[in-house]
Copies of this chain bind each other. A is one copy, B any other.
Amino acid sequence: MNKVVTCVAPVNIATIKYWGKRDEHLILPLNDSVSLTLDCDQMHAKTSVIAGPFIDEDSVWLNGQIMSIETNERLKKCFHLIRNLIKIRKGENSQEAKWNIRVCSENNFPTAAGLASSAAGYACLVYTLANAFGLVDEDLPSIARQGSGSACRSIYGGFVHWKAGIDDLGSDSTAIQIAADTHWPEMRIIILVVNDSQKKTSSTVGMKQAVETSELLKYRVQKCVPERTKEIIQAITVKNFEKFAEITMRDSNQFHAVCLDTYPPCVYLNQVSHDIISFVHDYNEAVGQIKVSYTFDAGPNAFLFIQQNDLNLFMSELVNVFPSEQPNSSYLRGIISTLPYEVCDSVKPFGFKPKDKDLLKYIMVTKLGSGPRCVNDHLLNDDGTLKSK
């Protein structure tokens, strides 16, 4: 392997939330989860890999910083699992099994913004290594899972179901595609990045505390999630948006309810998040139908789901209610071909009252994507050195 291999991998947003591990080491979840994979065009992790006898040691560069593989258990595990597969496929004493590997990875969106960067990052690492070593037919979700649980869902495009499984070794805890992105091309995702400075419990710590202290989590895992998973897969299959949207909102709220039931309580939503929740319910009530839904991960940012036909009307209200000092060209990002979302005093069909300016950093509109793919725009040179920008 004398050539750099580079891939991009997407962010995914869960509509049935993963929260709580049944095995901390193998990263096996307590319950199934369901997610949508976003288009790589707007947000992605990008990873370049080169391996060979001329690479002096394993190394990983992330967003311009060198990472220590030795002290990062999850990174080490992914390297170990990939090398094991190389040994199995190419032989214990093959050249490839002995090569050192250099990895360079970047996100094209802020890592700290709470936008599932580790899921995209680990999916990209595993997918790129698999491409570099000819392992693309292996069970990549199960390897990505051990880097960051929800990374397993970013291996596929469209709608993805991560099964919790029951095997102690995790052989049945992997991700499968429910439907491709082309199944529901009208689906749009609006990301509201919230201005926030609060310290947050990391999701790894938060879910561990929930497993240890939340009584309600037990019931969620045993009773609520199995029913909802079945229902939302059915809703996706028949493209029943209202059903899909309602289950999504209910599951987001239940996940945050479990966080609040944790001791001490774990709070990820802030006042702006709650303002967004209220606005979505008010909007749906005003239009007399569930046209838009929300979900929140372990942070204050909102992920809204809406269909293309309903996007423009909703966006004009959204920009009216959450105004910005910025020009629309920087406030509104993503797949907005035109920018018709001016606050216009004469057109306020529902009379929602505008809130303070700049509660949101920016608004990103995106759509479903088809999963990770190889690209030619490398981060490394063929001699293993980092490309200068």
Contact = CB atoms under 8 A, between A and B. Distances in A.
Interface string A252-275: 011011101111110100110010
A371 to B, nearest CB: 32
Chain copies in complex? 2
A256 B260 contact: yes
Interface residues of A, number: 27
Nearest to A260: B257
A110 B9 CA distance: 57
Contacts of A223: 215, 219
Interface of A is mostly: helix
A253 B263 contact: yes
A281 interface: yes
A253 B216 CA distance: 11
A249 interface: yes
A277 interface: yes
A213 to B, nearest CB: 8
A215 B218 CA distance: 12
Contacts of A249: 263-264
Interface string A274-294: 100100010000000000000
A361 interface: no
A150 B253 CA distance: 27
Contacts of A271: 270-271
A263 B228 CA distance: 15
Nearest to A228: B215
Contacts of A267: 274, 277
Q: Which of A246, A262, A264 has the most B CB atoms < 10 Å from its CB?
A: A264
A281 B257 contact: no
A183 interface: no
A163 interface: no
Nearest to A215: B224
Contacts of A270: 271
A333 interface: no
Contacts of A262: 253
Interface in A209-224: 215-216, 218-220, 223-224
B257 A261 contact: yes
5 contacts: A215-B219, A216-B257, A253-B263, A253-B265, A260-B260
Given A215-B219, A215-B220, 13 more contacts: A215-B224, A216-B220, A216-B257, A216-B261, A219-B223, A249-B263, A250-B261, A253-B265, A254-B260, A257-B260, A257-B261, A264-B281, A265-B277
